[in-house]
Amino acid sequence: MKSLIAITLAVLMSALFFGCAPDNSSSKLIGVAMPTQSLQRWNQDGSNMKAQLEAKGYKVELQYANNDVNTQVQQLENMITEGARVLVIASIDGSALSEVLKEAKARKVEVIAYDRLIMNTPNVDYYATFDNFKVGVIQGQFIVSKLGLDQGKGPFNMELFAGSPDDNNAKVFNQGEMSILQPYIDSGKIVIPSKQTDFSSIAIQGWDSGKAQARMDNLITAFYSKGRKLDAVLSPNDSLAIGIIASLKNNGWGTPQKPYPVLTGQDCDKPNVKAIISGQQSMSVFKDTRTLAAQVVDMVDSIMSGRPVPVNDTKTYFNGVKIVPSFLCQPVFVDKTNYQKILIDSGYYKASDLQ
Ligand code: BGC
């Protein structure tokens, strides 16, 4: 009889407990805000992170903002209202989030800047990215060795491009590139016929392929129409390289008499790896989004469980208000000679993706 009462009580209590248990779905909610679906990498970043966070039992709200700043701010506001505990943000305009992040801070939401630093606010807690300066160094060194500048060859004609002025990364890539190329420009071994070298005149708003194509068209018309040789084009990423290739192709490059110039990139997007295989683009820099996503998932999990958050750089990334503790992943050089090993053998792409 006693045991019957005990069982009945236990059943009653557990019914009471589970019936009244608070809905804790929002207490494990993580907001992930990505800039755009128009570029392959951000789709991979977003889906890798969602899958890895869900595997650890988190609920994930993943949003893409179509490269529109107001849309991204709105999405972040919604995530905060829904009770997100951590926001992971790949910003569109790194300086446009101060207000919404004040709101996040007020609600004790932790903020991780993803890939791109969030500028001019104290309310960003961590930054996870690749070593962006090193990306630029890899691109610069490639041009130097491909042209044979390091063996005293030259002079060569080159044109420079940079990424979106509202993305801090664009400036850091440029600093890395120029740390290698500037001495050759100064010594006259690299000639920039357009004389367009300062960041603002070479930057492409929104990392837009069409705008890069239009600028390359203008450069060709103004400086290369009388048969001047173009030896190299420095492109900081793959979306710009796509526009530059289109312009070169339309203007008659890609023949034995007029071969494509040395052309750099970054991201190893599928169309660009195909362009590397076919000889239109010379190299790209691989930033394995699986690695970055895994790092950020570890950061989120550490925050949520009160463990120290892993960082490996506390000196480099000053956002105008503070140095943001960062984790830098390593970028990897890719060209025709090693893409098979780095991209296919590693399982990142299938061979059929690149046909
Ligand atoms: C990223 C690059 C990307 C570019 C355009 C940068 O912030 O680091 O990987 O190519 O944005 O989306």
Query: How far away, in angstroms, is 269 Cα from ligand 1 center?
Result: 11
Q: Is the peptide bond before 310 cis (omega within 30 degrees of 0)?
A: no
313 is in which domain, residue-wise?
10-124+288-329
Residue 24 predicted with pLDDT over 90: no
Q: What is the pTM of this model?
A: 0.91
Ligand 1: atom nearest CA of 36 is 12
Mean pLDDT computed over 332-352: 97
Structure confidence at residue 27 (pLDDT): 86
Query: How far away, in angstroms, is 215 Cα from ligand 1 center?
Result: 19
**Closest C-alpha to 120, from 326, 299, 324:** 324
Q: Does any ligand 1 atom lie closer than 6 A to the CB of residue 173?
A: no
What is the distance of C-alpha 355 from the center of its chain?
Answer: 25
Residue 70 CB-density burial (10 A; 0-12 exposed, 13-18 middle, 19+ buried) = exposed
Q: Are residues 272 and 250 in the same domain?
A: yes
Mean pLDDT computed over 125-146: 98
Q: Are residues 160 and 58 in the same domain?
A: no
Ligand 1: atom nearest CA of 287 is 9
Residue 25 predicted with pLDDT over 80: no
Residue 223 predicted with pLDDT over 50: yes
Assess if residue 352 is contained within a domain: no
Structure confidence at residue 18 (pLDDT): 45
Answer whether 245's CB lies under 8 Å from 212's CB.
Answer: no
Mean pLDDT computed over 226-231: 95
Q: Are residues 234 and 311 in the same domain?
A: no
Residue 77 predicted with pLDDT over 80: yes
Answer whether 95's CB lies under 8 Å from 166's CB.
Answer: yes
Please tell me whether residue 162 adopts helix, strand or coil conformation: strand
Structure confidence at residue 168 (pLDDT): 97
Number of structural domains (the chain) is 2
Mean pLDDT computed over 257-263: 97
The residue type found at 260 is: Y
Percent of the chain scored above 90 by pLDDT?
92
Assess if residue 341 is contained within a domain: no
Residue 196 predicted with pLDDT over 50: yes
Q: Does any ligand 1 atom lie closer than 6 A to the CB of residue 237?
A: yes
Give CA–CA dist 78/60, Å, rounded. 13
Q: Are residues 292 and 280 in the same domain?
A: no
Assess if residue 19 is contained within a domain: yes
Q: Are residues 283 and 136 in the same domain?
A: yes
Q: Does any ligand 1 atom lie closer than 6 A to the CB of residue 207?
A: yes
Q: Are residues 237 and 279 in the same domain?
A: yes
What CATH code is carried by the domain that includes residue 246? Answer: 3.40.50.2300
Structure confidence at residue 15 (pLDDT): 46
Q: Are residues 220 and 300 in the same domain?
A: no
